[in-house]
Amino acid sequence: MSEQNTAKDLDNLSKLSYFYYVSEAISALIFAAVIGGVFVGRLLYYFGAVKLMLAFASGGMVDAAVTMNDELQLNSVLLPASVMLGSVAGIIGLYGVISGYYYIRFVRERKHYVYCMVLSGLTATSFPIGTIVGILSILILMKEDVRDIFNAGSEREIAPLDDKRLGTVGRYFTFYGSVSFFLSLLAVPFIISAYILFAGDFDKAIVVRDSNIPLNYLLTSISVLIFGLSLSLCTLLAGSLLKRRKGFVFIIIVSAFLSLFPPFGTILGIWTIFLLFSDPGRASFRNNE
């Protein structure tokens, strides 16, 4: 009877995991639609306002041109904010879909108990549907028979997979670095717009009232671009070295730096450090150094 109840609990847990995956996919699509709409609206307003300001300036309507210029300065702050918000929302949605995939996989394979428990707890914070799914999953995972099955499944793989996980982490580094690289390139249009709109001279009659705005906006965009590209290139290099089991110290430094950027950088960085300082991890690098 106990075995039947355990099997039923595991079957229910598998069904809940699929429900979690579908809900995350729907949430990602909703986020993309909302944030994408805000971004497109801001972008259209931006170019429309520039065109209107030029028309005012060419027609001698100085006051109207200055007013429109002030609105463009405000939009120059809102447009990058909407882009960054959309990017973060997209990454969170993608992370939710990927984590849901692994959640389904681990539940079916009956392993990685801690991962499943943590993800269930995070799901419980998404009121109201996620709360129900998360709490039900936690209640099932907390049962002793279910926990023993998961622990047994994980123990069978701990020893042989430590070295294999380094290759998996290397692929995660490559993915993280690639995403960071493309996100860094988002600063390029802002650098161009800062130069054309603020540093450029559309018309002598148009006066930028705050002379610090052009310089601060331009320097901030350039700093974001340089920092993002540097971080992404270092991450990509660390991923390549991880796959070849070389550059132990460099990977440790990059991992420690990534851990300062929650949530994804923190998880990836700390996970990598733990794996590198494990005996199989040290042995893998020692054989290739």
What would the pLDDT profile of 57-101 be if each residue is shown by its tens digit? 555 554 555 555 555 555 555 556 666 666 666 666 666 666 767
Give the confidence band of 202 by pLDDT, cuts at 50, 70, 90. Answer: very low
- 3-class secondary structure for the chain? CHHHHHHHHHHHHHHHHHHHHHHHHHHHHHHHHHHHHHHHHHHHHHHHHHHHHHHHHHCCCHHHHHHHHHHHHHHHHHHHHHHHHHHHHHHHHHHHHHHHHHHHHHHHHCCCHHHHHHHHHHHCCCCCHHHHHHHHHHHHHCCHHHHHHHHHHHHCCHHHHHHHHHHHHHHHHHHHHHHHHHHHCCHHHHHHHHHHHHHCCCCCCCCCCCCHHHHHHHHHHHHHHHHHHHHHHHHHHHHHHHHHCCCHHHHHHHHHHHCCCCCHHHHHHHHHHHHHCCHHHHHHHHCCC
Q: Which comes out higher in pLDDT, residue 279 or 188?
A: 188
What is the model's pLDDT at position 31? 64
What would the pLDDT profile of 230-273 be if each residue is shown by its tens digit? 888 999 998 888 888 888 888 888 888 887 776 677 778 877 88
Chain-wide mean pLDDT for the chain? 69
Q: What's the rounded mean pLDDT across residues 150-165?
A: 57
Q: How far apart are CA 42 and CA 35, in angstroms?
A: 11
Give the confidence band of 1 by pLDDT, cuts at 50, 70, 90. Answer: very low
Domain boundaries, the chain: 1-156, 159-289
Q: What's the rounded mean pLDDT across residues 25-37?
A: 64
What would the pLDDT profile of 91-147 be if each residue is shown by its tens digit? 666 666 667 677 777 777 777 777 777 777 777 776 666 677 778 777 777 777 777
What is the model's pLDDT at position 82? 60
What is the model's pLDDT at position 204? 42
